[in-house]
Amino acid sequence: MRILIVSQYFWPENFRVNDLSTGLVQKGHEVTVLTGIPNYPDGNFYAGYNFFKNTRQNYCGAEVIRVPVIPRRKGGNFNLILNYLSFVVFGTLLAPFVCRKKYDAIFVYGISPVLMAIPAVFLKIIRKTPLVLYVLDLWPESISAVGAFKSPFLLKQVAKIVRFIYKHCDQILVSSPGFIERIKEMGVDGVRINYWPQWAEDNYKIVTVKENSDENIQMPSGFRIMFAGNIGAAQGFEAIIKAAEQLKGCSQIHWIILGDGRMKPWVEEQVRLNKLENNVHLLGRRPLEKMPSYFAMADVLLVTLKDDPIFSLTIPAKIQSYMACGRPILACLNGEGAKVINESGAGISCPAEDFDALADSVLKMSKLSETELAAMGLNSRVYFERHFTRNILLDQFEKWLIVFKDKQYFKKGTDK
């Protein structure tokens, strides 16, 4: 099949859509990716890229077509809005001219912002091509939850745009079953919605790290709680800082933070103000291929989200990565994510932003034996293999695409 993937973010930016395109190529499909000029997360164009350079490339067999975007710079609502809208405008105007093949399906990898689906909607209308949207963030709920926009008027307008996008999608895939009812409330028939969880790339696996490795040398001795990923408003870092402050007297407990994000300066300031330098260690971003080695050196891997109804519907993508590496997990979140941890026996969960419960859970896990922690890690891996394996999920996606190719399917509105 000829598949057009639309995603504002793509290689060399680090997103799971990269692995999706590679997997589809490996299965024999002809894949084209419509994307922007890479500038995430630092906000500046990557070296070697500009409006006219490297606008057409090849990534692991997929054709990559880039349209201009305004870089996000240092963040802030104004810069982000310009960045989002530039992809919408240039993508909509240029897609009919740069994506000229007859595609069997258009697939939108719908991380924030959902606005990136608009070029795909117009291309679908022009070309009469089936459109599939993968929803990984609910809009406008997610931007309201992190305080990006507080104006009821603006949120209402965003909701209208989301309804427009959903209306023109032939199928909507969701990364969490908790999203289904919210999307149905937007007027989407349930037969057009399917649960399709995320997976972890193949490099996420159980590994053994040598004691003299560079990664191990960076680690403090003691009980290590490791957080990896975006340091943003959605992650509820206030609870992590307060829990770390409560346990400051436990010198053997160390909080390892791998990643970057808009709240990292705030976290650094809080570490300094609360004199947590001996307990909280911010190591910055690390290469994707190195993450399994870092995870292997953690006693517990930490996943957190803010206490907001919208986040209780989410399964954070890092859960799949953690489980693939067979590590015990401490989850400070509500809803679907906590359900996965509890159901799998992969670790312990506590309520979102409850720093007292988080501190108590850390103490509890620090007192477990190596055998007990190893059992949690084994449960993680077993659950991953049953529910989140890449090949199984790609096979399911491929079956859906074969159905999507028959346009009569959408006219009849039948289930898969």
Provide Rg for the chain, Cα atoms: 22
Name the residue ranges covered by the structural domains of the chain. 2-199+389-412, 214-387
Q: What is residue 409's predicted lDDT score, i.e. its pLDDT?
A: 46
Contact criterion met (CB below 8 Å) for 269 and 282: no
The residue among 110, 115, 152, 151 whose CA lies nearest residue 132 is: 110
Length of the chain equals 416
Q: What is residue 209's predicted lDDT score, i.e. its pLDDT?
A: 87
Paired tokens of 128: 């009469």
Reduce the DSSP state of residue 210 to 3 states and report it.
Answer: coil
The residue among 87, 91, 56 whose CA lies nearest residue 72 is: 87
Architecture of the domain spanning 214-387: 3-Layer(aba) Sandwich (3.40)
Secondary structure letter of residue 21 according to DSSP: H
Paired tokens of 212: 């003299």
Residue with tokens 């908790």, as numbered in its chain: 178
Contact criterion met (CB below 8 Å) for 258 and 284: yes
Question: Per residue in 253-287, is it b (16+ CB within 10 Å) or e — as a string?
Answer: bbbbbbbbbbbbeebeebbeeeebeebbbbeebee
Q: What is residue 412's predicted lDDT score, i.e. its pLDDT?
A: 41
Report d(CA 108, CA 138) in Å as an integer: 14
The residue among 114, 59, 122, 127 whose CA lies nearest residue 90 is: 122
**How many CB atoms neighbour CB 65 within 10 A?**
17
Report d(CA 407, CA 221) in Å as an integer: 59
Paired tokens of 113: 């912002």
Q: Provide the strand spans (E) within 96-196.
A: 105-110, 131-135, 171-174, 193-195
Report d(CA 326, CA 342) in Å as an integer: 15
Segments of the chain with pLDDT less than 70:
75, 145-150, 404-416
Q: What is residue 288's predicted lDDT score, i.e. its pLDDT?
A: 87
Report d(CA 147, CA 149) in Å as an integer: 5
Q: What is residue 253's predicted lDDT score, i.e. its pLDDT?
A: 97
Say which amino acid occupies 132: V
Fold matches, 2-199+389-412 and 214-387: yes
Residues 60-115 pLDDT 10s: 999 999 999 999 987 677 888 899 999 999 999 999 999 999 999 999 998 888 89
Architecture of the domain spanning 2-199+389-412: 3-Layer(aba) Sandwich (3.40)
Q: What is residue 147's predicted lDDT score, i.e. its pLDDT?
A: 65
Strands 62-67 and 56-59: antiparallel
Report d(CA 75, CA 78) in Å as an integer: 8
Contact criterion met (CB below 8 Å) for 125 and 24: no
Q: Give the dihedral sign, CA 326/328/334/340.
A: positive
